[in-house]
Amino acid sequence: MIERDSSYHFTVISCLLALLFHRYDALLPKTCISSDILSSKECCPLASGTAEQCGGPGRGRCEDLQVQVTDVTDGFDGDKERFQWPTTFFNRTCHCFGNFEGVDCSMCKFGWTGPNCDVKRQRVRRNILQMGKDDVEKFKRYLLMAKDTVSDYMIPTTLYQDMDDGRNPQFNEINVYDQFVWYHYYVARQNLVQTTQTNTNIEKSSVFADFAHEGPAFLTWHRAYLLTWERALREVSGDDDFTIPYWDWAGESDCNVCTDEYFGGSDATDNNTLTGSFENWRTLCADFENLSERGQLCSNNVNESSLPFLTRNPGGNERPQLQKLPSKEAVYYALSVRDYDNLPRDYDYLDNNWTQSDCSFRNLLEGFADSEHRTGLHVRNGEVTQLHNSVHLYLNGTMSLVPTSANDPMFLVHHVNIDRIFEKWLRRHGATRDEFPSKSTPTGHSRYSYMVPFFPVYTNNEFFQRSENFGYTYEGIDDQGLPLDSNERELELKAVNQMEKCKPITPPDDYSFDFTLLILIAVCGAILFLLVLIIVAFCCCCKSRSGYEKV
Ligand SMILES: *[C@@H]1O[C@H](CO)[C@@H](O)[C@H](O)[C@H]1NC(C)=O
Ligand SMILES: *[C@@H]1O[C@H](CO)[C@@H](O)[C@H](O)[C@H]1NC(C)=O
Ligand SMILES: *[C@@H]1O[C@H](CO)[C@@H](O)[C@H](O)[C@H]1NC(C)=O
Ligand SMILES: *[C@@H]1O[C@H](CO)[C@@H](O)[C@H](O)[C@H]1NC(C)=O
Ligand SMILES: *[C@@H]1O[C@H](CO)[C@@H](O)[C@H](O)[C@H]1NC(C)=O
Ligand SMILES: *[C@@H]1O[C@H](CO)[C@@H](O)[C@H](O)[C@H]1NC(C)=O
Ligand SMILES: [Cu+2]
């Protein structure tokens, strides 16, 4: 933990370091962790090489940061730092021009390179099973290097409300790999609310508040997350060509990358124990539930050797539907659905009703709606989880719990595959950015929400675009998102074309009665109105006729 006294010390050192390095963009940059800077809420560092704030004219300018979406925070007590992100910490940041990006505008936007960030750079993400042994080894080595490299970003060890308005910063250093683990924990963590003071201690209870899952931001958030993580792995390894590969699990009979050649097999005596390159890796935030009950944030402020090892037991869940990987047909079905996301997706904190959108590509791919039986309907009883979710649960261990899942490096290859399916959908349907919902979304999931906890800020809107805009594409798919392999292509086209169109259950059952009543009232009203009209017309007619007779 960095205490008040040492934080000044720290700033000097980190300023010097920042002049030499400028790296990863995750919460929160060391250069801006000091009581002075935090309490001023301005994070506009001097850019390396220029010694000017935000790189000076032509690169960026220090500006007030306006949140574009006002989140509802009623009932969230003092734990509001993820709402209106990132203004609890900083409300003045570098606004970078052109293709410049980063805390101090010294980096390039994804897909750009060169001293002026004006040179396009395209890379290809590959199928891990078609990569050579050397490239697989390289990938694993980079992951190990990330575990061994201290990040330029720090994580808070307490809630902001316990930092005396920034005057008492409580942050910790973290390695580059765990930074991303923590990141995923933080975005999906329980929100701590309802403080009750008893004689002996303060108790806090928590509610679910996930800014990256169970809503439209699921695919855009993970796209930005993977791009950031991929860039960090490039920095750590010095390999500028590196891309994260994908694991295409669809239709596989078992976890064919759960071997020592890839992510490790299971120990013969205990299916939960890993062998291979990651057998010594520990699970950060494994006790997230206990911490949450105590009103505490997970941090790496612990003795590492006291943390549990990674666990994984593919197919080990007793629920039959979680003993197998998703089918190819389920992926084809999700791809055939045209709408990105559909109402209702309101965030009902008490009822947990925010996953119920029907015939929504996002909900299908995330796995809260049914693709295996091709109904496209959200799973109302919560018993079945499919596609993305079922792969997590199939692995039955560290990967199966949202707040810990990124500890297992399989997270990366699984999520790159999810991103690949998202990319296929974007291309197939020629989706445009205005399809991303801006109203009635869960908190943090709106089109212009700043994604938690990215710093500098990103919106969902920016990431709802084809991958070439971020300098990457996927091996084996064409401009329409279809497989280049002719057999695969024929299978997919045939399957998708035969899919019956998804029929949402709208309006929801609860409202259908009211709706019918409304129609009934409207129809009755119209009939009554017509009747009155006829009577009036009839009377007028009679009158005028009698008038004529008079004439
Ligand atoms: C930023 O935060 C500071 C400190 O809380 C406050 O005085 C200032 O008004 C805020 N600025 C904006 C633009 O919200
Ligand atoms: C471990 O997995 C194997 C193969 O899936 C299975 O046959 C065996 O029963 C499992 N052992 C335990 C202890 O779960
Ligand atoms: C959570 O707390 C309970 C009770 O103190 C303990 O038995 C359990 O091991 C803890 N879980 C973790 C993951 O630390
Ligand atoms: C960390 O925990 C391990 C095992 O629990 C113990 O042997 C070791 O002494 C601890 N290290 C420190 C620095 O406390
Ligand atoms: C793994 O499967 C077992 C057996 O069904 C289940 O009790 C356990 O909760 C699963 N673990 C995880 C982390 O999903
Ligand atoms: C939300 O779900 C709960 C339980 O599944 C249900 O009782 C409630 O009616 C739902 N609310 C809405 C608005 O759909
Ligand atoms: Cu996730």
371-409 tens-digit pLDDT: 999 989 887 666 668 999 999 999 999 999 999 999 999
**369 near 377, Cβ under 8 Å?**
yes
* Ligand 5 nearest-atom number relative to CA 316: 2
The pLDDT confidence band at residue 324, using thresholds 50, 70 and 90, is very high
* 14 φ/ψ angles, rounded to the nearest 5 degrees: -70, -25
271 CB near ligand 6 (under 6 Å): no
- Ligand 4 contacts (CB < 6 A) are 303, 305-306
**295 near 195, Cβ under 8 Å?**
yes
Residue with tokens 């920095």: 235
3-state secondary structure of 203: strand
Q: Determine the distance separating the centroid of ligand 2 and the alpha carbon of 330, expressed in angstroms.
A: 28
Residue with tokens 């000017």: 52
283 CB near ligand 5 (under 6 Å): no
Query: What's the CA angle centered on 181, arms 105 and 10, to 5 degrees?
Result: 55
Residue (of 233, 309, 315, 243) closest to 278 by Cα position? 309
Nearest CA to ligand 3 atom 12: 287
Distance CA 544, CA 551 (A): 11
**Cα distances (angstroms) measured from residue 190 to each of 122, 155, 205:** 38, 17, 9
Q: Determine the distance separating the centroid of ligand 3 and the alpha carbon of 293, expressed in angstroms.
A: 11
318 CB near ligand 5 (under 6 Å): yes
403 CB near ligand 5 (under 6 Å): no
294 CB near ligand 3 (under 6 Å): no
Is the pLDDT at 165 greater than 50? The verdict is: yes
What is the rounded average pLDDT of the residues 517-535? Answer: 77
**Cα distances (angstroms) measured from residue 31 to each of 25, 40, 93:** 12, 14, 12
Distance CA 163, CA 169 (A): 6
**Per residue in 34-50, pLDDT tens?**
999 999 999 999 987 77
Is the pLDDT at 261 greater than 90? The verdict is: yes
**Per residue in 327-370, pLDDT tens?**
999 999 999 999 999 876 555 554 555 567 889 999 999 998 99
Most informative mutation of 311, 313, 393, 396 for ligand 5 (most atoms within 8 A of CB): 396
Nearest CA to ligand 5 atom 3: 317
pTM (two decimals):
0.85
In the DSSP assignment, the letter for residue 459 is B
Strands 92-96 and 42-43, sheet pairing: parallel
The pLDDT confidence band at residue 440, using thresholds 50, 70 and 90, is confident
510 CB near ligand 6 (under 6 Å): yes
